[in-house]
Amino acid sequence: MKQQNNITRRDFLSKSTLAGIGLGVTLSTPGILAASQLNGNNESLLNMKDTKIGKRTLGKLEVTELGFGCMNIAWAYGNPPAKADAVKLIRNAYEQGIRFFDTAEIYGPHISERTTGEALRSVRKEVVIASKIGFNIDFETAQMKGVLNSKPQHIKQAVDFMLKRLQTDYIDLLFQHRVDPEVPIEEVAGAMADLIKAGKSVIMVCRKPEQPRYVGHMRSIR
């Protein structure tokens, strides 16, 4: 039987520190690699350049089966890496064949999006970027002003600032990070539809739907 040369998540995690800067990786959601902490080892344990990474379809988008989660380059589990190291990590993931990168306004807040945008600016047309809105974060200071905010005007303003941080004019996959119980789903769906019509997003979805009716509205505007 001919041996396939497709990399698996298990292969990647067991053999790789993502070459060049010694940053470990852990698996978050299925198929998404998350940046972890510096481990002091600058040697690559796996060169993925000659290994084919499979692709899958998400609606209108084609993504690699391995994505790269950009949460831990800003905060969360352990101390985040220095910005220069985080940029190198993301670029190295791209060089190894990954084309799907996941970030959010809440990661930092804003730090992950800025770093991701800087790292991928030169290859923007070759990658799929996912990001998330839905929290009440000051657009300029990144300070939390509350918890959730999915009011239509806030969503539209948030996306405009996200585009600046990501150094792009569109976001491929935009999630509502959390359902806001204070805002009717019809209003959220309307704001998302307006952003799609304006070319600021390709697909928009709810990340944690709480009822079938919500899912139906989100599907209707893809």
Measure CA 69 to chain center: 6
In terms of pLDDT, which residue wins out, 78 or 22?
A: 78
Q: Catalytic site residue 94?
A: no
Predicted confidence band of residue 13 (pLDDT cuts 50, 70, 90): very low
Q: How far apart are CA 50 and CA 59, in angstroms?
A: 28
- Amino acid letter, 134: G
How many beta carbons lie within 10 A of that of residue 216, not counting itself? 12
Q: How far apart are CA 105 and CA 141, in angstroms?
A: 12
Which residue bears the tokens 């510096």?
Answer: 38
Output the six-digit token pair for 161: 């600032």
Contact (CB, 8 A) for 23 and 37: yes
- Structural domain boundaries in the chain: 1-102, 103-109+129-222
Nearest to 130 by CA among 152, 107, 97: 107
Beta-carbon contacts of 192 under 8 Å, excluding residues fewer than 6 positions away, are 155, 174, 176, 201, 204, 218, 221
- At the topology level, CATH places domain 103-109+129-222 in TIM Barrel (3.20.20)
Q: How far apart are CA 134 and CA 107, in angstroms?
A: 12
Residue 215 pLDDT exceeds 60 = no
pLDDT score, position 77: 87
Predicted confidence band of residue 49 (pLDDT cuts 50, 70, 90): low
Task: Give me the catalytic one of 77, 107, 170, 214.
Answer: 107
Indicate the SS3 state at residue 195.
Answer: helix
How many beta carbons lie within 10 A of that of residue 144, not counting itself? 12
Percentage of residues of the chain with pLDDT beyond 90: 62
Which residue bears the tokens 């990590």?
Answer: 89
Q: State the average pLDDT over residues 198-220.
A: 67
